[in-house]
Chains A and B, each alone.
Chain A
Amino acid sequence: MSSVAGAQSVPARALRGPRRPSTLIVYRWELRKLASQKRTYMGLGLAALLPLIFVVSQLVRGHPPRGADSIFASEIFQSGLATPVLMLTFLAPFFLPLIATLVAGDIVATEDSNGTLKTILTRSVDRGQVFAAKAGAAMTYGLTAVYVSAAVATVAGVSAWGFHSVRTLSGTTVSAQKALLLVVAANACFLIPLLTIVCIGVLLSTITRNSAAAIVGTLGVTLILAIVQQIPGLEGLHPYLLTTQYFAWQGLLRTPTDWAPILHSLWVCALYAVPALFAGYLVFLRRDVAGG
């Protein structure tokens, strides 16, 4: 090892305070870390692949699914813009939460087990900044997965069946342009419960320090809520279950727009997300970093 030029005289260091990095910088680096890992692209690849498989299989079959309970299932051959709506219906209950959980459950735990948490926590950023950046990156990943899926479904659907007007859940017809806006808005509404799941994943990732346990735990929570939804006699709980909120976006597809389920979804999800995120934050602030 050669000469030491990295050292600086003490007085110069003592005189000026160092510039501390912002949380935005930490967040950007969390995204860059995600972008450097192959598994990140596996989740996004799956989000893109399923709509493609759906469109190709429908083209091969040549007619709409029989007995479909969604109005959009019978619409897919009329307009390519029905495809992203139908895909959101299919993917919302399990697949998109699964993809989001893969990163949310991993984002703290993997750094703990690899020992890199101690590396970044001995730099010039506070624990709160690191936690905020990690939660933000996990949410960004969930958002990306949703819109990658929606974009691929839209492009594939329009390529296969054209950019035409669509019938809404109320039976009225909306123009193709408005339908496209509704697709964007519906996915945005679905982000409300999805980001809530991300918050639960980040909490479990922080508490368990084990990626697998956090991912399985988060999915377990959603599955339990889904099972509760099926139990007779517990109908009174349905409006307050996270899984019920997966389809609140359908209020956008009525004429006039039904905002009630979306607003309801907002506050119900907040009841899950805010405590989960706050608990994760508190645990992260005070936890012992003994791994690695």
Chain B
Amino acid sequence: MSDGAQPPVKARGLVKRYKEVLAVDHIDLNVRAGDVYGFLGPNGAGKTTTLRMALGLIVPSEGTVELFGRDPLREGARALEGVAGFVEAPRFYPYLSARKNLELLAALDGDGADGRIGEVLEIVELTPRAGHRVGGFSHGMRQRLGIAAALLRRPRLLILDEPATGLDPAGMRDMRLLIRRLADDGITVLLSSHQLPEVQELCDRVAIVDSGRVVYEGALAELRRQGGAGYRLRSTDDARALEIARTAPGVEHVLASEQGVGFQADEPHVGALSLALAQAGIGILALTPELATLEDLFFRLTEQDAEAARPGLDGARPSAANGAPAHGERLVEAQ
């Protein structure tokens, strides 16, 4: 199979142990060519460790990872052909200018990368600061320089770990646009991010990790579909509507919020609830279908996973389709 036919990232049974700590627990990843693949998880979930293993920076305790069919551990730099990016914050030599840093990295890339320095500086809009020492750069400028350093390699796969961290709103928007453009140009992007709206906007497939394990991997649209359709009800008497909804058959996860009453149900049960409300003399002001956001689903998956891991519970892994209440709603309920 040629390079082009191999998946950009294929991880199988990746494990990383640090003495007693299991940082990554049998992670499988499948990033396909052309994906903008979101890699999500709470802090300490094992995302960065996984990315470091993918780039050959960390030796897995078990399992394998291949980039375009090549194992970085066995093949070294050859496995990183066509691969670029950074894990955690991009780091540079503070005593060298931005241009000198890129010259160094271009020298380590070979393949005429030095001829692209001006071009990539232009892309990230650092040309006016190219002669300045990186030691004086802001975090956001270093992030942009990190992107420039990655683009020097003309990557087919771009691995970005929190690229928008430290950027101002305009910088975050520009970063999103840049990633979108790169993806449109055929570059596969593996994006680790805490910015869930950013992931929802950019990514077509996601993996969600928690406590070192993948709790969901697949299409974002499928995850949202599995998350189930929810409804938001505003009525003339929300308090009574809440009581009726809680006892209505087929209506689940009924929660009050400032925006009204939220619940999940299929269409026949929504119809039955409407009738029950009318019979009780409650007027329906609005009944709005709501698709679960990535943020809702992320908290459902990661927080339920933490619940399952608590002593005394059976530890069964929750499925992506379970219908636990969303994070924001749970906070309202607690009040």
Contact with B along A178-221 (1 / 0, CB 8 A): 00000000000000000000000000000000000000000000
Closest approach, in angstroms, between the C-beta of A110 and any C-beta of chain B?
Answer: 10
Say whether B77 contacts A126, CB under 8 Å: yes
Does A264 belong to the interface (CB within 8 Å)?
A: no
| A8 at interface by CB-CB < 8 Å | yes
Contact A2 B123 (CB under 8 A): yes
Cα distance, A53 to B108, chains bound together (Å): 42
A227 part of interface (Cβ distance < 8 Å): no
- Count how many chain B residues have C-beta atoms less than 8 Å from C-beta atoms of the other chain: 64
**Other-chain contact of B152, A3, A6, A13 (Cβ < 8 Å):** A6
Known: A2-B125, A119-B149. A19 touches B110 (CB 8 A): yes
- Residues of chain B lying within 8 A (CB to CB) of residue A17: 81
> Given A6-B123, A14-B4, A118 and B186 touching (CB < 8 A)?
no
Kindly state the separation between the CA atoms of A127 and B111 in the bound complex, as whole angstroms: 18
- Any B CB within 8 A of the CB of A137: no
Within 8 A of A (CB), among B36-92: 49, 52, 55-59, 76-77, 80-92
Contact of A7 (CB < 8 Å), options: B112, B124, B185: B185
Q: Mark A117-138, 1 if CB is under 8 A from B, else 0.
A: 0111111111110000000000
Count A-side interface residues using an 8 Å CB cutoff.
45
CB <8 Å contact, B88 and A292: yes
Number of A-B contacts (CB under 8 A): 152
Please measure, in the bound complex, the distance between the C-alpha atom of A173 and the C-alpha atom of B25, giving whole angstroms: 75
B59 contacts which of A14, A115, A116, A286 (Cβ < 8 Å)?
A286
Contact yes or no, B108 A124, CB < 8 A: yes
A1 at the interface (CB under 8 A from B): yes
- The reply to whether the CB of A41 lies closer than 8 angstroms to some CB of chain B is no
Complex Cα gap A26–B124 (Å)? 26
26 A-B residue pairs with Cβ-Cβ distance under 8 Å, sorted by A, are: A1-B124, A1-B175, A1-B177, A2-B122, A3-B181, A4-B181, A4-B185, A7-B154, A10-B4, A14-B4, A18-B81, A21-B107, A21-B108, A25-B107, A26-B108, A28-B107, A33-B96, A115-B91, A119-B105, A123-B80, A123-B108, A125-B77, A126-B76, A286-B59, A288-B57, A288-B59
